[in-house]
C-alpha cells in the first residue's frame, strides 16, 4: 500500500521534495483529493496519466499557492483578476490564454493554447505547493472512471502503489470538483459546474455568465480542441519507412527506418526528425509529444510519418491523440 501520512512539517517537506524531483503526491484540497505532479515537468505530468490509467489526454488544472505564482502562466484580463481577488483561494478554476514564457508543460495543457488555473483553499495544499515552488498539476486522485476521492483511503484504494505518498487532511469539505470558468473569449462560460454558481461569478464581474456543460471530464467543444491537436500537414501512423519529403516522428531506435529511394532515417537533417524517446521510454515520449508534433508541422513537408508506439500504459493515450490527429 502507498504511504498515508499526517501532514507534519517534515512530511510536507518530504512531499515537496518528491514533487520537485518529478514524483507524484496525493494531497487534500477543499474540493476533492488531488493527484499532484510538477506541472512544469512533462515527464512528471505523464506519470499522472499513467497512474490514472486514462485512455486519452485531457488538459489538467495547474494549482498555485497564490495568484503571484500563476501570473506568468496566463494572460489575466480584468475579469480574471477580479475573480482571483474574490474567489482565490477557493473552488474556482479559470481557463485562460497561455502566456509566452510560461513554464507549465504542453502535456499539462494537452497541447492547447489555453491553461486551467486555480488556487485551492486548503492549508496543506497551499503549504505543499509553496514549498514545491512550482505550479502543481492535479486532477482528482482516483483511477479513470471511478468516483472522486474525498478521503485519503479512497486514494489508496483507487491508485494503490501508483502514488508513493498520500498526505492525509481529513475529509474534503465540498466533495465536488471546482467550478471551471472559461475566460478565453469575450463571453464568460461555466464549463464544469461546481461549488460556485453562475450567480456568484456574474455578481463578481458584473457581466452575464452562461453554462455550457460538457459530459464529465470532457473538455469544452471537443471539435475545436481536436483542431489544436491536429497539425496542418497530414499524419501517417505506424510508418515503417519515411518518404524523402516527409518529416519523421520517431519512437525508439531508427536504425532500421529506411528513407524511400535509399538511405537511413538516422541521416535525416535535424528539422525533419524528432525522436519522442530514443530508449523507448513512454513517459519521456508522452512529455515530448505535443511539442514535437508542433516542431515538425512545417508546410515544406508533405506530412508527418509516425513510428509505431506500443499501445500499453500511457502509450494508449498517445495513440488516441495521434489517431485523432491523423483522422482530422
Ligand atoms: O476540484 C478540482 O478542480 C480538483 C482538485 C484536485 O483541485 N481538480 C480537478 O482537476 O478536478 P482536473 O484536471 O480533473 O479537471 C480538469 C477540468 C476538466 O473538466 C477539463 O476539461 C477542464 O478542467 N480543463 C482544463 N484545462 C482546460 C482547457 N485548457 N480548456 C478547456 N477545459 C479545460
Ligand atoms: Mg476526476
Residue 160's pLDDT band, with cuts at 50, 70 and 90, is very high
Domain-located, residue 239: yes
| Residue 2 pLDDT | 85
Residue 327's pLDDT band, with cuts at 50, 70 and 90, is confident
Ligand number nearest to the C-alpha of 180: 1
Does 242 share its domain with 111? Answer: no
pLDDT digits (tens, 9 = 90+) for 174-200: 999 999 999 999 999 999 999 899 999
Residue 224's pLDDT band, with cuts at 50, 70 and 90, is very low
Question: Which residue, judged by its Cα, is nearest atom 21 of ligand 1?
Answer: 219
| Index of the ligand 1 atom closest to the CA of residue 219 | 21
Does 170 share its domain with 285? Answer: no
Does 138 share its domain with 279? Answer: no
Does 67 share its domain with 126? Answer: yes
Does 199 share its domain with 242? Answer: no
State whether the beta carbon of 61 lies less than 6 angstroms from ligand 1. yes
| Residue 33 pLDDT | 98
Does 243 share its domain with 106? Answer: no
Does 147 share its domain with 259? Answer: no
State whether the beta carbon of 95 lies less than 6 angstroms from ligand 1. yes
Does 55 share its domain with 138? Answer: yes
Kindly tell me if the per-residue pLDDT of 221 is higher than 80: no
Domain span at residue 167 reads 3-211
Domain-located, residue 127: yes
Kindly tell me if the per-residue pLDDT of 67 is higher than 50: yes
State whether the beta carbon of 225 lies less than 6 angstroms from ligand 1. no
* Beta strands per DSSP E along the chain: 3-5, 25-27, 34-38, 61-63, 92-97, 114-118, 136-137, 165-167, 179-182, 188-192, 209-211, 235-236, 241-242, 247-250, 258-259, 273-275, 304-306
Does 12 share its domain with 93? Answer: yes
| Residue 228 pLDDT | 52
State which of 219, 220, 227 you would mutate to test the pocket of ligand 1, scoring each by most atoms of that ligand within 8 A of its C-beta: 219
For residue 219, the 8-state DSSP code is P
Does 106 share its domain with 207? Answer: yes
Domain-located, residue 252: yes
Domain-located, residue 228: no
Does 249 share its domain with 304? Answer: yes
Domain-located, residue 223: no
Q: DSSP of 224-261, one letter per residue?
A: HHHHHHS-SS-EE-S-SEE-TTSEEEE-S--TTPEETT
Domain-located, residue 310: yes
Domain-located, residue 188: yes
Kindly tell me if the per-residue pLDDT of 317 is higher than 60: yes
| Centre of ligand 1 from the C-alpha of residue 326, in Å | 26
Cβ-proximal residues to 9 (8 Å cutoff; 6+ apart), any chain: none
| Residue 172 pLDDT | 93
| Index of the ligand 1 atom closest to the CA of residue 31 | 1
Burial 175-184 (b: 16+ CB within 10 A, else e): eebbbbbbbb
State whether the beta carbon of 148 lies less than 6 angstroms from ligand 1. no
| Index of the ligand 1 atom closest to the CA of residue 148 | 11
CATH of the domain at 251: 3.40.50
Count of structural domains, the chain: 2
Q: Which of 111-120, 215-224, 286-295 is least confident?
A: 215-224
Last residue of a domain, one of 211, 243, 277: 211
Domain-located, residue 35: yes
Report d(CA 287, CA 69) in Å as an integer: 22
* β-pairing verdict for 136-137 and 34-38: antiparallel
Does 47 share its domain with 136? Answer: yes
Q: Which residue has the cell 489508496?
A: 156
| Centre of ligand 1 from the C-alpha of residue 97, in Å | 15
Amino acid at each position: 500500500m502507498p504511504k498515508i501520512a499526517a501532514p507534519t512539517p517534515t512530511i510536507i517537506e518530504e512531499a515537496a521534495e518528491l514533487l520537485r524531483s518529478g514524483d507524484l503526491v496525493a494531497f487534500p484540497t477543499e474540493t476533492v483529493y488531488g493527484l499532484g505532479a510538477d506541472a512544469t515537468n512533462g515527464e512528471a505530468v505523464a506519470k499522472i496519466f499513467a497512474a490514472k490509467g486514462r485512455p486519452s489526454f485531457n488538459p489538467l488544472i495547474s494549482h498555485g499557492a497564490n495568484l503571484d505564482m500563476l501570473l506568468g502562466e496566463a494572460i489575466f484580463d480584468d475579469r480574471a483578476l477580479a475573480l482571483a481577488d474574490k474567489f482565490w483561494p477557493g473552488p474556482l478554476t479559470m481557463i485562460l490564454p497561455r502566456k509566452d514564457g510560461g513554464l507549465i508543460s504542453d502535456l499539462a495543457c494537452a497541447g492547447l493554447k489555453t491553461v486551467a488555473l486555480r488556487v485551492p483553499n486548503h492549508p496543506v495544499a497551499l503549504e505543499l505547493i509553496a514549498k514545491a515552488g512550482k505550479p502543481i498539476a492535479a486532477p482528482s486522485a482516483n483511477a479513470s472512471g471511478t468516483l472522486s476521492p474525498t478521503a485519503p483511503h479512497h486514494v489508496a484504494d483507487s491508485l494503490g502503489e501508483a502514488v508513493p505518498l498520500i498526505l492525509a487532511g481529513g475529509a474534503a469539505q465540498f466533495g465536488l470538483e471546482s467550478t471551471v470558468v472559461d475566460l478565453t473569449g469575450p463571453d464568460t462560460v461555466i464549463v464544469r459546474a461546481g461549488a460556485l454558481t453562475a450567480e456568484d461569478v456574474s455578481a463578481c464581474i458584473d457581466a452575464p455568465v452562461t453554462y455550457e456543460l460538457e459530459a464529465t471530464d470532457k473538455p469544452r467543444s471537443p471539435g475545436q480542441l481536436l483542431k489544436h491537436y491536429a497539425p496542418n500537414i497530414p499524419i501517417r501512423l505506424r510508418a515503417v519507412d519515411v518518404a524523402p519529403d516527409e518529416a519523421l516522428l520517431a519512437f525508439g531506435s531508427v536504425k532500421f527506418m529506411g528513407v524511400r529511394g535509399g538511405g537511413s532515417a538516422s541521416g535525416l537533417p535535424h528539422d525533419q526528425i524528432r525522436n519522442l524517446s530514443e530508449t523507448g521510454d513512454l513517459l519521456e515520449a508522452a512529455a515530448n509529444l505535443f511539442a514535437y508534433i508542433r516542431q515538425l508541422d512545417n508546410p515544406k513537408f508533405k506530412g508527418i510519418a509516425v513510428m509505431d508506439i506500443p499501445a500499453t500504459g500511457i502509450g494508449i493515450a498517445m495513440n488516441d491523440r495521434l489517431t485523432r490527429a491523423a483522422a482530422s
